[in-house]
Chains A and B, each alone.
Chain A
């Protein structure tokens, strides 16, 4: 098992580079918005340790939480970057390209216009020019102080508020209306790196238990880490209040907030976000199949298959407090009428419901859901190699090298080969080639266990009128069929270790550092002790003070030299 580590120094260099890039890009954005000289153009923030760009889902959810679900976010965002299998890890390694900035700016303008339009003004802004406040300065300050705290996930400094008010007044004068002035300033804030990036900062907090190379995060950064881990969105007012009061710095206060947030239905969002990333389900967004071979498969099926997997997971792991290992054996699938035809089951409700497959059914566990079966197949045929590789890389955190460039795929691709009628027979050809065999021995025996499901995820007993043999082996343990493969994975220590490591990497947005191995070992031990309950694993991470630390920024002098204004 190998996990790629990002060297600490490389990480800092990237952060520095990102900061510089962002600074330039933000300047461009700021000048593109009428009269908006925002706080981000001033070197007044604390030295940042990590920058994590919001994923598209986090951006959308944050806007909905702050301004309401009816605010439409139009356009596309720059694609997120998957690093070491996780978008979360990529989020600390991406900046914003000029094209991406245009997209953020376009979305920001649209959001700001909606927030300040007639339909939303009273509820979301509510500022008026009155005798007592003829230029609505006080109201404007109050608005940006309130909204800015949610957007930046920290309170705005007085200078930032003053700048926002001044910018609004100037824009109002130029554009002729308070709403236009507010809209311009709000759009600038939405384009600011303080919003687009989660900027984590450290604080001087005494903690005898922490690692000597680790520096604790400040309360606001803790709140953001916690909120994005548990809810995949910006901190709510209560969490920010806990940060403000210092509650989050204490273990008891932190535990209270963790319990509150995990008891919320929104915890499902956080769990879904992790598994969506972990299982790489975003690939279903662009998945297509050959309609002549798999006519029942459609973009709608792909979209609902993703939703099915996420609903199945959150129902089992959160609502039923199930164990991670049960995900590989559960026969209780979320179901709707779009997916019913591919599973060949009746669906009574027109909305989502749950369907329990009988014990004799070959469907059992996530591996037999359409999402993974279709995602790790070719457009017109199955692929034991892709399926086995996905299991190795995603669920077991192993790395399978890419195939050499000169591989001859003609035998494997010839599904009408009169001699080699089944996929098993065709992929066996790889095993005769020593160059290929070393990797295919790792992937194919696992993937062949799923051969009774075609490239769209439908059950099939035959291939080219030949009975399908779905036996295989997982690390020298033989199994027969997909359900047995799921059962083997459910018992796999490698799989449970992989989950713990992946959950931590997802939470911190980077590879595991050497000094964190003992922490991971402790998590694993607790995970086993808690019978592999996923929510307990998340609770363990979320309540661990270690989770709220970063490596000591000794190499970060260039940033640290900048003038600081305390929050």
Chain B
């Protein structure tokens, strides 16, 4: 009876297997989603009464297959594109030398020359018992007593000959580097050729309620969009290409630890004035289907570390979810990157599609250190793998940062941003439910 009332008199699409599911719905109503353990959450479009469903009634969850800095598609906004570090270095060479290194097949030689002339260090970590033949023949090696993933920069810096307080462990904990990405301030000669994005369009929303000339219009015409991160990145070839939704929506990224969004206390998936929204990180990798896109309706176990869980409230209007601001820390784990995305004051806006998928964005302030860390982790010989210029990005981030000023210095520590995302229906599983799941096993 209670369940029927909670669902506006509609029969539940699923009573699933859980004898206590009704009780949980009631508890959720009283205490809020964050106050009790969540067992399963399901993402399901409105379906026929006899459609099979699973998970908690009134709850939808999504696994995000890509979160990216979106390119709103305005053409002609960049007179010139920002130079990458190798391009800047090449221009600094005498014209006779430039010809020797200009061709694409000379990139490795150009990198080597840059490394030599600018004093970059690139040292591969190896355990004492590791077969040295397995190490790269191109870089210096450093034998350490612990596994590379446990090495600390302080412990290896001196052995590697890196100046005090400098350098970083990058490349999935296997490289100790000192270059223009780990220490951009040490290489001002590469901090040239920046072109900010001066277009009118950018993804995002009005975060601060203020109007000014630094703001954009959204592709849907919404004015006052705060997205200074796009101002920094919008004329860089890498972000223009990979931020294009046509490319990005079909790409699986951060697949090693994807992000989940769960919406609960839903009475009506099209219009509901009060829903609970949680953002989780999955400890399971993203699962792809036969087409190479995210598989719908898969189960993912959530990472229960408190810093990786965020709760907020929201509302659904005509199938579009909007939330109150919330601080987010999301895993960012893909190939050589193992970091976090730390955003503050994030509002989620997303369309809940009839096919069970979701598309929208995290609109808020990206912490500078967190964003730059992801750039730094892509470093290779001082030239970002994506052919960016780390000193340019680092400098521009400081210049255009517009939020969360440091209490002491007054310097802004975050930059307004819009991270687009796309996802499919999923089930968010609490590890506690895994133990409980054994109830159903013989």
Q: Which residues of A lie under 8 Å from residue B153 when comparing CB positions? A: none
Instruction: Identify the interface centre among A340, A343, A347: most chain B CB within 10 Å of its CB.
Output: A347
Is A408 engaged at the interface, CB distance under 8 Å to the other chain? no
Interface 9-mer from B214-222, B227-235, B289-297, B361-369: B289-297
Q: How far is the CB of B349 from chain A (nearest CB, A)?
A: 27
- Are B40 and A346 closer than 8 Å at their CB atoms? yes
Interface residues of A in 483-504 (CB under 8 A from B): none
Interface 9-mer from B95-103, B118-126, B185-193, B433-441: B433-441
Q: How far is the CB of B32 from chain A (nearest CB, A)?
A: 21
Q: How far is the CB of B80 from chain A (nearest CB, A)?
A: 42
User: A348 CA to B44 CA in the complex, in Å?
Assistant: 18
Interface residues of B in 47-80 (CB under 8 A from A): 47-55
Indicate whether A295 sits within 8 Å of B297 (C-beta atoms), given known contacts A344-B52, A352-B441, A461-B51: no
- Are A315 and B442 closer than 8 Å at their CB atoms? yes
Is A319 engaged at the interface, CB distance under 8 Å to the other chain? yes
Is B39 engaged at the interface, CB distance under 8 Å to the other chain? yes
Q: Which residues of A lie under 8 Å from residue B442 when comparing CB positions? A: 315, 319, 354
- Are B52 and A346 closer than 8 Å at their CB atoms? no
Q: Which residues of A lie under 8 Å from residue B434 when comparing CB positions? A: 348-350
Q: How far is the CB of A427 from chain B (nearest CB, A)?
A: 22
- Are B427 and A340 closer than 8 Å at their CB atoms? yes
Indicate whether A348 sits within 8 Å of B290 (C-beta atoms), given known contacts A341-B297, A361-B52, A459-B52: no
Is B316 engaged at the interface, CB distance under 8 Å to the other chain? no
- Are B295 and A296 closer than 8 Å at their CB atoms? yes
- Are B297 and A344 closer than 8 Å at their CB atoms? yes
User: A295 CA to B296 CA in the complex, in Å?
Assistant: 10
Q: How far is the CB of B261 from chain A (nearest CB, A)?
A: 16
- Are A348 and B51 closer than 8 Å at their CB atoms? no
User: A345 CA to B17 CA in the complex, in Å?
Assistant: 10
Is A292 engaged at the interface, CB distance under 8 Å to the other chain? yes
Q: Which residues of A lie under 8 Å from residue B42 when comparing CB positions? A: 346
- Are B289 and A349 closer than 8 Å at their CB atoms? no
Indicate whether A348 sits within 8 Å of B15 (C-beta atoms), given known contacts A291-B291, A337-B298, A459-B52: no
Q: How far is the CB of B101 from chain A (nearest CB, A)?
A: 45
Indicate whether A348 sits within 8 Å of B297 (C-beta atoms), given known contacts A298-B290, A362-B52: no
- Are A354 and B291 closer than 8 Å at their CB atoms? no
- Are A295 and B290 closer than 8 Å at their CB atoms? yes
User: A346 CA to B295 CA in the complex, in Å?
Assistant: 14
Q: How far is the CB of A340 from chain B (nearest CB, A)?
A: 5
Q: Which of B52, B55, B287, B427 contacts A357 (CB 8 A)?
A: B52
User: A143 CA to B438 CA in the complex, in Å?
Assistant: 44
Interface residues of B in 416-441 (CB under 8 A from A): 427, 429, 433-434, 436-438, 440-441
- Are B291 and A346 closer than 8 Å at their CB atoms? no
Q: How far is the CB of B389 from chain A (nearest CB, A)?
A: 40
- Are B298 and A340 closer than 8 Å at their CB atoms? yes
User: A343 CA to B17 CA in the complex, in Å?
Assistant: 14
User: A295 CA to B295 CA in the complex, in Å?
Assistant: 8
Q: Which residues of A lie under 8 Å from residue B55 when comparing CB positions? A: 345-346
User: A298 CA to B442 CA in the complex, in Å?
Assistant: 27
- Are A341 and B429 closer than 8 Å at their CB atoms? no
Q: Which of A292, A297, A341 contacts B298 (CB 8 A)?
A: A341
Is B16 engaged at the interface, CB distance under 8 Å to the other chain? yes
- Are A356 and B296 closer than 8 Å at their CB atoms? no
Is A381 engaged at the interface, CB distance under 8 Å to the other chain? no
- Are A461 and B437 closer than 8 Å at their CB atoms? no
Q: How far is the CB of A458 from chain B (nearest CB, A)?
A: 9
User: A43 CA to B21 CA in the complex, in Å?
Assistant: 70
- Are B14 and A358 closer than 8 Å at their CB atoms? yes
Is A12 engaged at the interface, CB distance under 8 Å to the other chain? no
- Are A459 and B51 closer than 8 Å at their CB atoms? yes
Indicate whether A337 sits within 8 Å of B17 (C-beta atoms), given known contacts A292-B291, A298-B290, A349-B441: no
Q: Which residues of A lie under 8 Å from residue B297 when comparing CB positions? A: 340-342, 344
Q: Which bucket holds chain B's interface residue count?
A: 35 or more
Q: Which residues of B lie under 8 Å from residue A461 when comparing CB positions? A: 47-48, 50-51
Q: Which of B39, B50, B290 contacts A297 (CB 8 A)?
A: B290
Annotate B341-358 by CB proximity to A: 1 below 8 A, 0 otherwise. Answer: 000000000000000000
Interface residues of B in 295-336 (CB under 8 A from A): 295-299, 301
- Are A354 and B290 closer than 8 Å at their CB atoms? no
Is A275 engaged at the interface, CB distance under 8 Å to the other chain? no
- Are A358 and B16 closer than 8 Å at their CB atoms? yes
User: A45 CA to B40 CA in the complex, in Å?
Assistant: 63
- Are A291 and B39 closer than 8 Å at their CB atoms? no
- Are B298 and A348 closer than 8 Å at their CB atoms? no
- Are A363 and B289 closer than 8 Å at their CB atoms? no
Number of A residues with CB within 8 Å of any CB on chain B: 37
Interface residues of A in 359-397 (CB under 8 A from B): 360-363
Q: How far is the CB of B58 from chain A (nearest CB, A)?
A: 14
Is A353 engaged at the interface, CB distance under 8 Å to the other chain? yes
- Are A356 and B299 closer than 8 Å at their CB atoms? no
User: A353 CA to B438 CA in the complex, in Å?
Assistant: 7
User: A358 CA to B17 CA in the complex, in Å?
Assistant: 7
User: A31 CA to B42 CA in the complex, in Å?
Assistant: 64
Q: Which of A343, A350, A356 contacts B440 (CB 8 A)?
A: A356
- Are A348 and B52 closer than 8 Å at their CB atoms? no
User: A319 CA to B441 CA in the complex, in Å?
Assistant: 12
Q: How far is the CB of A238 from chain B (nearest CB, A)?
A: 26
Indicate whether A360 sits within 8 Å of B15 (C-beta atoms), given known contacts A341-B295, A343-B52, A344-B44: yes
User: A346 CA to B290 CA in the complex, in Å?
Assistant: 20
Annotate A283-301 by CB proximity to B: 1 below 8 A, 0 otherwise. Answer: 0000000011011111000
- Are A294 and B427 closer than 8 Å at their CB atoms? no
User: A5 CA to B328 CA in the complex, in Å?
Assistant: 71
Q: Which of B53, B287, B437 contacts A348 (CB 8 A)?
A: B437
User: A495 CA to B1 CA in the complex, in Å?
Assistant: 40
Q: Which residues of B lie under 8 Å from residue A350 when comparing CB positions? A: 301, 434
Instruction: Identify the interface centre among B297, B434, B438: most chain A CB within 10 Å of its CB.
Output: B297
Is A355 engaged at the interface, CB distance under 8 Å to the other chain? yes
- Are A343 and B54 closer than 8 Å at their CB atoms? yes
Q: Which residues of A lie under 8 Å from residue B299 when comparing CB positions? A: 337, 340-341, 346-348
Q: Which residues of A lie under 8 Å from residue B11 when comparing CB positions? A: 360
Q: Which of B50, B53, B295, B437 contacts A349 (CB 8 A)?
A: B437
User: A413 CA to B293 CA in the complex, in Å?
Assistant: 27
Q: Which residues of A lie under 8 Å from residue B293 when comparing CB positions? A: 295
Q: How far is the CB of B431 from chain A (nearest CB, A)?
A: 9
Instruction: Identify the interface centre among B11, B44, B293, B296: most chain A CB within 10 Å of its CB.
Output: B296
User: A343 CA to B429 CA in the complex, in Å?
Assistant: 16
Q: Which residues of B lie under 8 Å from residue A352 when comparing CB positions? A: 441
- Are B298 and A353 closer than 8 Å at their CB atoms? no
Q: How far is the CB of B262 from chain A (nearest CB, A)?
A: 12
Q: How far is the CB of A459 from chain B (nearest CB, A)?
A: 5
Q: How far is the CB of A426 from chain B (nearest CB, A)?
A: 22
Q: Which of B15, B16, B40, B437 contacts A353 (CB 8 A)?
A: B437
Instruction: Identify the interface centre among B53, B55, B296: most chain A CB within 10 Å of its CB.
Output: B53
Q: Which residues of A lie under 8 Å from residue B49 when comparing CB positions? A: 360
- Are A363 and B296 closer than 8 Å at their CB atoms? no
Q: Which residues of B lie under 8 Å from residue A342 when comparing CB positions? A: 297
Q: Which residues of A lie under 8 Å from residue B295 when comparing CB positions? A: 295-296, 341
Indicate whether A291 sits within 8 Å of B290 (C-beta atoms), given known contacts A340-B299, A346-B427, A360-B15: yes
- Are A358 and B15 closer than 8 Å at their CB atoms? yes
Q: How far is the CB of A358 from chain B (nearest CB, A)?
A: 4
- The closest CB in chain B to the CB of A297 belongs to B290
- Sorted nearest first, the 4 A-B pairs with minimum C-beta distance are A348-B437, A345-B54, A291-B290, A346-B427
**15 pairs from A and B in contact (CB 8 Å cutoff):** A295-B289, A319-B442, A340-B297, A341-B287, A341-B297, A345-B16, A346-B299, A347-B429, A348-B299, A348-B433, A353-B437, A358-B15, A360-B49, A361-B50, A362-B52
Chain A interface residues (CB < 8 Å from chain B): 291-292, 294-298, 315, 319, 337, 340-358, 360-363, 452, 459, 461, 481
A348-B433, A356-B440 known, 9 other contacts, Cβ within 8 Å: A297-B290, A342-B297, A343-B54, A344-B53, A345-B55, A348-B429, A348-B436, A358-B14, A362-B50
